[in-house]
């Protein structure tokens, strides 16, 4: 970077890190889940990391980087999976981890700085009997700003839907990347300009989120003789309007036994499992429902487990969502995964059919969610990886059967999402980041407006040649 010395002089007094090892570490996220991204992005590195503690410092960094034409990639905790927080053009990683105060809790609402960790937000909300509606399984490490900019949903989505559904984010404060950065307050439909935009069109400094009633959720593992039974039970449970659950995840054998090492003692190798979080007051009704359904073995429930049994067990949400894959990768580093939507109303049949078709090459893992008012499921099947060609083939097998894949082996917004331009996000980028300095290479519509999403081509950001 040509103007590094001049930039550093402009940023004097701020926390600047240029130790190559630390800069490299802060330039990485969980991109290595994907063998494809590992090949493409392993060398990606920023020039410096600047850690800010206030919105005024964010503005100072953006003003200086704009003046020197230096790219800026914002970072929360760096738990994203697709190289989202990786600076493809180098430049500055803007670290918001120290901007982490919970500012205000009131009835139904919390306001926090963007770098606040989600479990810390809940710690602040719990004395009032409240908690966040939904959180990723990285609840104990990820920031609320990173979730809003890079996440999609998670634990709680069975009741509240996805993160970008109306009402699940209330207000965002955003700083623009201009000669004189502006502070914008976004609400209503304007939230879609920056939510899930990977920080390509603004830096979120403050987040206002809705809260709901908090419970000491009971972790439950139920066992089944087949994945089809686990999936059908999960679907029936999701449709029980009177039962309050926060998490419903059927996972095919032998994943639970082989990869949930701390829970292994409760699970047979041939058992598929449904991982659940149930409200304590709903446990009796849940047990009655499970015994009427039939074929359900309660393997573990945290409310009845002895202290000895509970010793060292992670919470159930850290067996679900992308923690399922992580636990697999810790045992077998050659694994990878996909992200699939099984559309309503034949979601269960589709998921079971694909599980049976692909067998042990793609052990199934479903996450039940409320999607436009209907219960359906996403899947994060584990893939026993053999080659990039076969991975593409497995993706096609899903899409040919009407199950869209949100490809986690691509680093761009569009390819990991709906495979089309998001006109709202693009228009806001033109306004808020006219030089295209924020997280370059992640929005194809900006980098290459003529890119043909219907072609089989994968987009390659020219800046990566660096």
Report yes or no: 196 and 104 within 8 Å, Cβ to Cβ.
no
Binding test (CB under 6 A) with ligand FAD, winner from 59, 247, 439, 461: 439
Q: Segment contacting ligand FAD (CB under 6 A): 197-205, 240-248, 337-345, 386-394? A: 197-205
Q: Does 339 bind ligand FAD (CB under 6 A)?
A: no
Q: Does 77 bind ligand FAD (CB under 6 A)?
A: yes
SS3 172: strand
Nearer residue to ligand FAD within complex by CB, 190 or 309: 190
For ligand FAD, which residue has the nearest CB?
Answer: 146
Q: Which structure tokens are listed for 442?
A: 């992640």
The 10 Å Cβ neighbour count of residue 106 is 11
Q: Does 81 bind ligand FAD (CB under 6 A)?
A: yes
Q: Which residues inside 202-241 make contact with ligand FAD, applying CB under 6 A?
A: 203-204
- Round to whole Å and give the CA distance between 121 and 134: 12
Nearer residue to ligand FAD within complex by CB, 84 or 130: 84
Nearer residue to ligand FAD within complex by CB, 77 or 290: 77
Q: Does 199 bind ligand FAD (CB under 6 A)?
A: yes
Q: Which residues inside 136-155 make contact with ligand FAD, applying CB under 6 A?
A: 136-138, 142-143, 145-147, 149-154
Q: What is the per-residue binding string for ligand FAD in 384-413, x denoting contact by CB under 6 A?
A: ------------------------------
SS3 206: strand
Nearer residue to ligand FAD within complex by CB, 82 or 290: 82
Nearer residue to ligand FAD within complex by CB, 195 or 302: 195
- Round to whole Å and give the CA distance between 333 and 447: 33
Cα separation values, 272 from 267, 286, 302, Å: 9, 19, 19
Binding test (CB under 6 A) with ligand FAD, winner from 76, 181, 363, 440: 76
Nearer residue to ligand FAD within complex by CB, 130 or 152: 152
Nearer residue to ligand FAD within complex by CB, 14 or 298: 14
Separation of first and last alpha carbons in the chain: 11
The 10 Å Cβ neighbour count of residue 59 is 19
**Residues in binding contact with ligand FAD, number by CB under 6 A:** 38
SS3 33: helix
Please tell me what DSSP assigns to residue 50. Answer: E
- Round to whole Å and give the CA distance between 267 and 221: 9
Q: What is the per-residue binding string for ligand FAD in 100-129, x denoting contact by CB under 6 A?
A: --------------x---------------
- Round to whole Å and give the CA distance between 408 and 382: 12
Query: Phi and psi at residue 97, in whole multiples of 5°?
Result: -60, -25
Q: Which residues inside 25-64 make contact with ligand FAD, applying CB under 6 A?
A: 29-30
CA dihedral over 383, 389, 393, 395, signed as positive or negative: positive
Binding test (CB under 6 A) with ligand FAD, winner from 133, 257, 323, 398: 323
- Round to whole Å and give the CA distance between 127 and 75: 30
Q: Which structure tokens are listed for 412?
A: 């761009």
Q: Does 79 bind ligand FAD (CB under 6 A)?
A: yes
Instruction: Tell me the residue ranges of DSSP E strands in 80-202.
Output: 92-95, 102-106, 109-113, 130-132, 171-175, 183-187
CB of 345 to ligand FAD, least distance (A): 24
Phi and psi based region of residue 108 (left: phi greater than 0; alpha: psi -120 to 50; beta: remaining):
left
Q: Segment contacting ligand FAD (CB under 6 A): 134-142, 216-224, 274-282, 450-458? A: 134-142
Q: Which residues bind ligand FAD (CB under 6 A)?
A: 29-30, 73-81, 84-85, 96, 114, 136-138, 142-143, 145-147, 149-154, 198-199, 203-204, 321-323, 326, 439
């Amino acid at each position: 970077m040509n103007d590094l010395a001049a930039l550093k002089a402009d940023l004097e007094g701020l926390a600047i890190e240029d130790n190559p090892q630390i800069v490299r570490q802060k330039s990485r996220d969980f991109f290595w889940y994907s063998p494809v991204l590992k090949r493409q992005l392993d060398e990606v590195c920023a020039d410096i990391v600047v850690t800010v503690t206030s919105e005024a410092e964010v503005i100072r960094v953006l003003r200086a980087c704009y003046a020197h034409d230096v790219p800026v990639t914002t970072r929360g905790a760096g738990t994203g999976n697709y190289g989202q927080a990786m600076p493809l053009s180098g430049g500055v990683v803007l670290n918001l981890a120290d901007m982490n105060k919970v500012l205000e809790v009131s009835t139904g609402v919390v306001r926090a700085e963007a770098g606040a960790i989600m479990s810390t937000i809940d710690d602040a909300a719990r004395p009032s009997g409240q908690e966040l509606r939904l959180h990723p399984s990285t609840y104990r490490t990820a920031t609320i700003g990173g979730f809003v900019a890079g996440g999609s949903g998670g634990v709680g989505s069975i009741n509240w839907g996805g993160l970008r559904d109306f009402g699940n984010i209330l207000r965002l404060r955003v700083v623009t990347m201009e000669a004189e950065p502006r502070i914008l307050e976004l609400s209503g439909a304007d939230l879609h300009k920056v939510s899930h935009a990977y920080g390509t069109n603004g830096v979120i400094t403050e987040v206002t989120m809705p809260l709901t009633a908090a419970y000491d959720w009971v972790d439950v593992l139920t066992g089944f003789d087949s994945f089809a039974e686990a999936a059908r039970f999960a679907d029936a449970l999701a449709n029980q309007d009177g039962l309050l659950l926060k998490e419903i995840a059927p996972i095919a054998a032998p994943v639970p036994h082989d990869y949930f090492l701390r829970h292994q003692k409760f699970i047979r190798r041939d058992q598929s499992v449904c991982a659940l979080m149930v409200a304590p007051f709903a446990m009796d009704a849940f047990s009655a429902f499970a015994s009427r359904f039939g074929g359900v073995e309660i393997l573990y429930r945290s409310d009845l487990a002895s202290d000895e049994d509970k010793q060292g067990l992670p919470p159930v949400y850290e067996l679900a969502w992308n923690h399922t894959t992580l636990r697999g990768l810790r045992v077998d580093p050659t694994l990878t995964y996909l992200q699939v939507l099984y559309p309503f109303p034949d979601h269960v049949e589709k998921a079971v059919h694909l599980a049976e078709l692909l067998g042990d090459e793609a052990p199934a893992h479903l996450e039940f969610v409320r999607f436009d008012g209907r219960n359906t499921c996403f899947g994060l099947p584990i893939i026993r990886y053999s080659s990039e060609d076969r991975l593409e083939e497995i993706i096609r097998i899903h899409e040919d059967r009407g199950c869209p894949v949100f490809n986690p082996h691509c680093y761009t917004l569009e390819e990991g999402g709906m495979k089309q331009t998001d006109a709202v996000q693009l228009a806001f980028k033109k306004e808020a980041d006219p030089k295209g300095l924020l997280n370059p290479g992640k929005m194809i519509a900006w980098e290459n407006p003529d890119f043909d999403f219907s072609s089989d081509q994968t987009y390659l950001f020219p800046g990566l040649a660096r």
